[in-house]
Amino acid sequence: EVQLVESGGGLVQPGGSLRLSCTASGFTFSSFWMHWVRQVPGKGLVWVSRIYSDGSSTNYADSVKGRFTISRDNAKNTVYLQMNSLRAEDTAVYYCARDLSLSDALDIWGQGTMVTVSS
């Protein structure tokens, strides 16, 4: 079964750091670009970041550029999101998603992990 499982969410103070993980199974992870998308509960989807299949290129939303870093370990079938200098407005459910490369569609999504930034 094709699956993405996120972990690493939790409560963190403003200015703190957190690293999210997303572990893939059921497909050749190293062949696919991967994304992080976030959603404040009750609000819409907001794209965060993307990484190429070999990790050679990354893109970020302006709101997280310079604070968040996406990376991957293809040997572990895992993509990461290192989040530094966290702000209250980063509070959200964070989803990882697979990019169906030829079509650029986000075709598989994880269940999400909640990040709460609060003192």
Partner 1 sequence: SYELTQSPSVSVSPGQTASISCSGDKLGDKFAYWYQQKPGQSPVLVIFQDFKRPSGIPERFSGSNSGNTATLTISGTQAMDEADYYCQAWDSSTVIFGGGTKLTVL
Binding span for partner 1 by CB under 8 A among 12-20, 22-30, 79-87, 109-117 = 109-117
Strand partners, 22: 6, 79
- One residue of 27, 55, 61, 67 binding partner 1 per CB under 8 A: 61
Reported as half-sphere exposure (CB side, CA atoms, 13 A), residue 21 has a value of: 9
- Grouping H, G, I as helix, E, B as strand and the rest as coil, residue 92 is strand
> Interface with partner 1 by CB under 8 A: which range of 11-19, 45-53, 71-79, 84-92?
45-53
Q: In degrees rounded to 5, what are phi and psi of residue 110?
A: -80, -175
32 lines the binding site for partner 1 (CB under 8 A): no
Query: In this chain, which of 35, 64, 92, 115 binds partner 1, going by CB under 8 A?
Result: 35
Report CA 115 to chain centroid distance, whole Å. 11
Q: Near partner 1 by CB under 8 A, which window of 11-19, 42-50, 73-81, 82-90?
A: 42-50
Identity of residue 14: P
Size of the site for partner 1 (CB under 8 A): 22
**Token pair in block for residue 64:** 């997280």
Phi/psi at 38 (5° precision): -120, 160
Q: Which positions lie near partner 1, rule CB under 8 A?
A: 35, 37, 44-47, 50, 59, 61-62, 95, 97, 100, 103-107, 109-112
